[in-house]
Structure 1
Amino acid sequence: MESLLNYFETIPSHHRAFIIAGGLTFFWLLEGIMPLFGKPYKKWQHAIPNIFFTITTILVNLPLAFLLLQCSDWVVVNDFGILNWLPEMPRWLYVILGLFLMDLIGAYLPHFIEHKIKPLWMVHLVHHTDHNVDTTTANRHHPLESVIRYFFTLIGFLIIGSPIGIVMLYQSLSVVATQFNHANIKLPKRIDTMLSYVVVSPDMHKVHHHYRLPYTDSNYGNIFSVWDRLFGTFMAMDTDDIVYGVDVFPDEKKNGHIGELLKQPFQKYDKPTMEAEK
């Protein structure tokens, strides 16, 4: 466990790039073998805006990485944060607890907040207006959301008092987990259900991408599914009934255009509120 943390404390940039590109390639190929939805769509054309936003996310995160390192030094020197206030524990338990806390405070709660505060929801909409959710959707985030998410992560990092090794480990696991649960793959129902008791499975997360409430406001989990079940935000739905997108921005052509997506957070709704599905 110590060697694992040591590796992620100094993980080279090209290794992180390999994790992103490798996971994307693997799940992209898997989608062709065992697709969830047989609906035909131009996969390469669909991927263009999503890859663009993946690149912008990387470009936003790279120059801000020094903040994580500075915070890491600060929490260690000042013995600050939840992990530093707990009694001494085995290293493996320390790492697992750190990952769970990062998932709760740095991912689940920010995602929940983004859905509840309208200006943040408008920025987050870019992720939801994808009409053909697949593994490339995982990093389809407006550059403003990349900044917002980064600072949520930073705040979570300070609260938890996590060393940089756990943060880098969590972020690496998060990349692969989101590529997996967004992937357009069809697992055997029993396996998907069993997985969903521990981690966010593809079927579980696809419910979150249904175009209407209350399903859009459910299944906020990033890696671990326990938070949705614990806080009552878990919902299930037959995947055959899922329709991707958001009802207030229904134009699929515009939602696949980079320029339109960059402007989307600043546009008004086509109608005042989203109506809950009966």
Structure 2
Amino acid sequence: MASLELANAALKEIERLRKEQELVIRKINNYHSKLQQSPEQADHMKDDSWIKLRTYYIKAKTLAEDEATVSTNCIEHLTGLLPGQAPPNRKKPDPNEKKRKRVRADDSTRLSSPTQRSTSVAYNNLASGDQVAARISGDGAENDEWIVVKLTKYDRETNRFEVIDEEPDDEGNGQRKYKLPASQIIPFTKRSDVSNAPDFPVGTQVLAVYPGTTALYKASVVGPQRKKRSDEYSLEFDGDEEDGVAGLPTKTVPFYHVVQLPSGHRQ
């Protein structure tokens, strides 16, 4: 998809986010107006009223963060249209590197308890056997390496997750085990928990499982806009150029294999 089309899609998404923010802020202001007129009402407000107000603030914060993300992406797309400002061509990744990890077909060990990935609740609800995204590269590595692993246990003494890479390495040495902090773990949305799946708008940069592999790479959400949270994402993976093909190919990825791009991601 051309940079101009992506920028236009991002601008439409920004307009939608701002309209939604206005509605939420209006509800917040209504609460505060009532409290300013009658401060004593605060002592008599029910718990569910405070919960609603808190929920509105969380929603407003989330919408503002989404707008910032989409705005940044829009700036990048527009920069690519300026003379002499086109982003450098990315090196095409070795296809064998992405294909060396095949997605396992057996997901029967995944548990179906609900989880909210956007908060610490997601980590609290993780259970042995759950699949998660894990960064197995060190903090000083040139590039971040994210793969799909299976959680085996949480060590409270070390405050680390114990996980295994179920795919054998290139030398066929069997499954590898890792002990990782929460900062290197991203829970996936469970297939049965569609209601808590995040909705990444067109133009958003995400981290997603590359089709046919168990490796995750940076990608951009492209159109058309999904109608349901359970719909697959249409993605363009960074550096996924194909010989003789203009632009990046579009890949479809299930919603439960797409997560928010970690801050400071290196690829």
Question: TM tier, shorter chain?
Answer: under 0.3
Question: TM-score, with normalisation over the residues of structure 2?
Answer: 0.27
**Structure with a larger share of its residues in strand:** 2
**Structure with a larger share of its residues in helix:** 1
Instruction: Indicate the structure whose relative CO is greater, using CA pairs within 8 Å and at least 6 residues apart.
Output: 1
Question: TM-score, with normalisation over the residues of structure 1?
Answer: 0.26
Q: Which has the larger radius of gyration?
A: 2
